[in-house]
Amino acid sequence: MILTVKTTRRTQLVDITSEVQQAVASAVSPKEGGWCLLYVPHTTAAVTINESADPAVRADIADALDRLIPWEAGYRHLEGNSAAHIKSTLVGASETVAIEKGRLVLGTWQGIFFCEFDGPRTRKIHVHVYGK
C-alpha cells in the first residue's frame, strides 16, 4: 500500500499513525501478528517514531534539526536543498514496527511521523505488512 502525504511547510513532521494502522488492519486479521515496514522513497524526507501525545515535541524536533542543519551553510549541491538531504540521512528512510493482534505495537506515547525537509510537497510512503 502507498500512503500520500501533502505537506504545507519546508520542515514538517506529520503524524501518520492512524493511516498506517488502517493499512495494517486491512492487511491482517485482528488475531494476527507480524511486521509493518514503512519506507519513504524520497531523498529529502524521512520517517520516524517519537512522542505523539504533545504536538510541541514534533515542533521541537523540527526546530532542533533546523538549528543543527541550517538551510544556508555554504553547501555545494547545485539544487540548493542540501540541508534537506542531510536531515533525511540522519532521520532515516524506513521504520519497522511489530504487529500484535492486528495492531501496531507502539508505546503509550509513540506515534509514527512522516518528516518533510524540503516542502511543501506531495509525498509517498510505502507500507508493507507481513503477517505471521
pLDDT per residue as tens digits for the range 100-115: 999 999 999 999 999 9
Q: What is the pLDDT of residue 31?
A: 86
Residues 55, 59, 12, 106, CA torsion sign:
negative
Place of cell 509514527: 112
What domains sit in the chain, N to C, each tagged with a CATH number? 2-131 (2.60.120.460)
Q: What is the pLDDT of residues 36-88, one digit of tens each?
A: 999 999 999 999 999 999 999 999 999 999 999 999 989 999 888 999 999 99
Q: What is the pLDDT of residue 78?
A: 85
Judge whether residue 132 has pLDDT over 80.
no
Judge whether residue 117 has pLDDT over 90.
yes
Q: What is the pLDDT of residue 28?
A: 86
Give the global pTM.
0.95
Tell me the C-alpha distance between 63 and 57, whole Å: 10
Q: How confident is the model at residue 35 (pLDDT cuts 50, 70, 90)?
A: very high
Whether 6 contacts 103, CB under 8 Å: no
Q: How confident is the model at residue 7 (pLDDT cuts 50, 70, 90)?
A: very high
Judge whether residue 10 has pLDDT over 80.
yes
Beta strands in 1-132 (DSSP E): 2-6, 12-15, 34-39, 45-51, 94-100, 103-104, 110-116, 122-131
